[in-house]
Amino acid sequence: VSIPPFLFEAILYAPIDDTNSTAKIGNGIIFFTLYKKEAAMWESLTIENATKEKLQCLRENAVLKAHEKAKEETEAKKVMKQEHKKYALEATMKLEEAERKRIEDLKEKERWKVTEELELWKKQQQDAEKQRRAQKEVELHQEVEQLKEKKKEKIDKTRIPSEVTSKTRLKTTTGCRGSHSMFSENLKEEQLPAPRSAATIKINFTSRVFPTALRESRVAEEEEWLRKQAEARRTVNADFSELEDLKEEEKNPDWLKDKGNKMFATGDYLGAVNAYNLAVRLNNKLPLLYLNRAACHLKLRNLHKAIEDSSKALELLTPPVPDNENARVKAYVRRGTAFCQLELYMEGLQDYEAALKIDPKNKIIEEDAEKIRHLIQGTTQDS
């Protein structure tokens, strides 16, 4: 039990430092630890010749003084607490501002990087186009020169017989009448047109989109797949009023998909998921968005979401044609992997076997399917 030291200050000879002074009761003994306000020798410990009324008045004044001091300390603590809260709020706001600025700087840096890559690509395309034009001009010039040479040769060939003909004409006019018929026959032969020059005719065939032979292909399914892809490219599902703070390129699903692919390659799976999420909001008909997001969810151990995205990708990858075989294989494998990590080995094996039906020569998928079969056998034996 502690006794406030100010209760003793009223009866002491001189004031004490009640902040540092203490009075404690323990084991029936009171321990006082008193510190003087001024370093000096006291003539006595208590006030001499003090009446009871005087001591009572001194005590009451000491209590009032202590109450006022406690009130001041409480107010000071309250002010200090408010100052601390204010400082903490300002520090938090500064940290949030710094984090927001860092994110904005990263976005701006990424934006500049993509813009520079786009400008570089445009410049390369322009240089390639200039080079192609220059090459075409050179080839055209060469063809013109060749035509001029051929024309010149033809003129030279036709000039020689005309000279010979004029000479023969002179002879026939001075010669006999019998030679005139011979000259007319030769003249008829010379007036016949020259044979046509040989040339090469180039025939171009319309290229098919799919490499399969026409007798083996499913034209209707292939045309339906192309139609669905064209419609998906034109589909925009997002309300741009909600996304008005985005840049123009950030409203392009293909740009967001490429950005997500780059983040996935660097190990930023959460950032890649955010990019794919925004792309899906803009266009929910592109199967590759769900397929790539499923790969991110596998890395982040979001197994149920990986199964949902893989299933959605398979739903959009219809009809099954050679052009989407690779994507369907990936979708089955990713969904099967998620099932196996959830210890649903039978469902996982079914997806791996479906992938093998599409790509039967894939040794890696075949080995993984065999491992799943061993796991199922071991689980069955243990049960």
CB 288 within 8 A of CB 317: no
The residue out of 123, 149, 175 marking a domain boundary is 149
Domain span at 21: 2-49
Domain co-membership, 35 together with 115: no
Domain co-membership, 256 together with 356: yes
Residue 2 DSSP class: B
Domain co-membership, 295 together with 361: yes
pLDDT band with cut points at 50, 70 and 90 for residue 64: confident
The residue out of 104, 128, 149 marking a domain boundary is 149
Domain co-membership, 293 together with 348: yes
In a domain, 229, yes or no: no
**Of the listed ranges 55-59, 144-148, 191-195, 287-291, the one predicted with least confidence:** 191-195
pLDDT band with cut points at 50, 70 and 90 for residue 182: very low
Selection from 54, 46, 110, 95 nearest residue 268 by Cα: 110
DSSP-derived pairing of the beta strands 22-26 and 29-33: antiparallel
Domain co-membership, 88 together with 7: no
Domain co-membership, 110 together with 37: no
The residue out of 105, 123, 149 marking a domain boundary is 149
In a domain, 144, yes or no: yes
In a domain, 55, yes or no: no
Q: What is the CATH number of the domain that holds 342?
A: 1.25.40.10
The fraction of the chain above a pLDDT of 70, given in percent, is: 74
Domain co-membership, 287 together with 339: yes
In a domain, 206, yes or no: no
**pLDDT recorded at residue 7:** 54
In a domain, 201, yes or no: no
Domain co-membership, 75 together with 42: no
CB 260 within 8 A of CB 270: no
335 class by beta-carbon count within 10 Å (0-12 exposed, 13-18 middle, 19+ buried): buried
Domain co-membership, 38 together with 83: no
Tell me the pLDDT of the chain averaged across its residues.
79
Compare 188 and 154 and report the one with higher pLDDT. 154
**Amino acid sitting at position 338:** A
- Is pLDDT at 5 greater than 90 in this prediction? no
12 class by beta-carbon count within 10 Å (0-12 exposed, 13-18 middle, 19+ buried): middle
In a domain, 169, yes or no: no
Give the Cα separation of 281 and 20 in Å (integer).
Answer: 68
- Is pLDDT at 266 greater than 80 in this prediction? yes
pLDDT band with cut points at 50, 70 and 90 for residue 26: confident
In angstroms, the Cα distances linking 199 to 48, 196, 202 are 142, 9, 10
In a domain, 172, yes or no: no
**pLDDT recorded at residue 363:** 93
Average pLDDT over residues 173-192: 47
Write a three-state SS string for 114-158.
HHHHHHHHHHHHHHHHHHHHHHHHHHHHHHHHHHHHHHHHHHHHH
Domain co-membership, 255 together with 296: yes
Domain co-membership, 17 together with 119: no
Q: Which helix (H) or strand (E) holds 287?
A: helix 287-299
The domain total for the chain is 3
Domain co-membership, 287 together with 349: yes
**What are the start-end ranges of the H helices in 4-51?**
6-9
Backbone torsions φ then ψ of 29, nearest 5 degrees: -125, 140
In a domain, 372, yes or no: yes
Neighbours of 278 (CB within 10 A): 19
As a residue count, the chain comes to 383
CB 262 within 8 A of CB 230: no
Residue 208 DSSP class: P
DSSP assignment of 161-182? HHHHHHHHHHHHHHS-SHHHHH
